[in-house]
Amino acid sequence: MIEGTFIGTSSAFPTVKRNHPAVYIMINGERMLFDCGEGTQRQIRKAGLSPSIDSIFITHWHGDHSLGLGGIIQSLNMMKSNKRLNIFGPSGTEQGIKNILMTYRFYNQLDIKSKSINAPKEKKIFERDKYTVSAINIEHSVKCLAYKIKEKDVRNISVEKLAEKGIKSGKFLSKLKEGKDVIYNGIKLKYKDFTYLKKGKSLAYVTDLRYNRNVIPFIKSVDTLIIESTFGEEFQKSYEFFHLNIKEAISLAKSSGAKEVFFVHTSQRYENDDSLVKSAAALYSKMKCTFKYSFPDDFDKFSL
Ligand SMILES: [Zn+2]
């Protein structure tokens, strides 16, 4: 299961209601952040989540997506529980992290592994037993990455099928789960007859982006899509500002086929103005969309 919490849902300016961008993900006992804006670690505390982060994935080096890194690194350095932190980001990330480590006077107890990623095509950048994280370059005013977490498919035993044949459980089940046929009491059991494939869930995180349909293959068929929609349809300069407006974001979301969509990175101009939400509802009907969607608030949770 992938469990997520929106740590910050604003764009360039943090507001009274919304903090700088960050999404906290818990998967298979590991904690990761996608982006790390200013104030992220305090938001993590407020959300009641563990501050022991294992990996941070930065989309790009604009301050709203990365100003919280120094603070998190300082805290993790003082905590005994964390010994290692992975940091991924676009080209220049290794140097950026070196600069942070040179500038501040941290206790150096933390083993930081940083990696600069250039991914003209989808690239697997991180792998664990049960999931992978991949990245792809996306179009913004600076080098920027979109990320995707994908759980691996798992082959499970069909207990009903075993029972039908009167087969009792045993060590051979692990072989069937590995996709291997086995001999049971002199009879060949084909793994295909006694197992089924449970598809892993997937989540894509796409921000910041100027409208460009090249991102569609990367987000195609994900279960959940988190995508920026900084501006409303009325804002004429979203392309010039290298951002999406809500119409563009809905169009990409629809093309992805995602079942659930979260629109984030909301401009401060909509802090006390529901025009963005209203125009999203109108466009959603007009464009005949079927996915579930919302504009999450900070601390909202989701799971898949
Ligand atoms: Zn941004």
* pLDDT tens per residue across all 304 residues of the chain: 999 999 999 999 999 999 999 999 999 999 999 999 999 999 999 999 999 999 999 999 999 999 999 999 999 998 877 789 999 999 999 999 999 999 998 887 899 999 999 999 999 999 999 999 999 999 999 999 999 999 999 999 998 998 888 888 888 889 999 899 998 888 899 999 999 999 999 999 999 999 999 999 999 999 999 999 999 988 888 889 999 999 999 999 999 999 999 999 999 999 999 999 999 999 999 999 999 999 999 999 999 9
The angle at the Cα of 189, spanning 187 to 191, to the nearest 5 degrees, equals 170
Q: Are residues 147 and 176 in the same domain?
A: no
Q: Are residues 203 and 285 in the same domain?
A: yes
Q: Are residues 87 and 143 in the same domain?
A: yes
For residue 279, report the distance from its CA to the centre of ligand 1, in Å: 21
Q: Are residues 177 and 71 in the same domain?
A: no
Residue 179: domain span = 155-196
- What ranges make up the beta strands (E) of 12-65? 22-27, 30-34, 55-57
For residue 38, report the distance from its CA to the centre of ligand 1, in Å: 12
Q: What is the pTM of this model?
A: 0.92
Residues with C-beta atoms within 5 A of ion ligand 1: 64, 208
Query: How many structural domains is the chain composed of?
Result: 2
For residue 251, report the distance from its CA to the centre of ligand 1, in Å: 20
198 Cβ partners below 8 Å, 6+ apart? 153, 154, 155, 156
**Active-site position among 35, 54, 64, 223:** 64
273 is catalytic: no
Q: Answer with the one of 196, 229, 264 that is the final residue of a domain.
A: 196
For residue 215, report the distance from its CA to the centre of ligand 1, in Å: 17
For residue 39, report the distance from its CA to the centre of ligand 1, in Å: 15
50, 72 Cβ separation under 8 angstroms: no
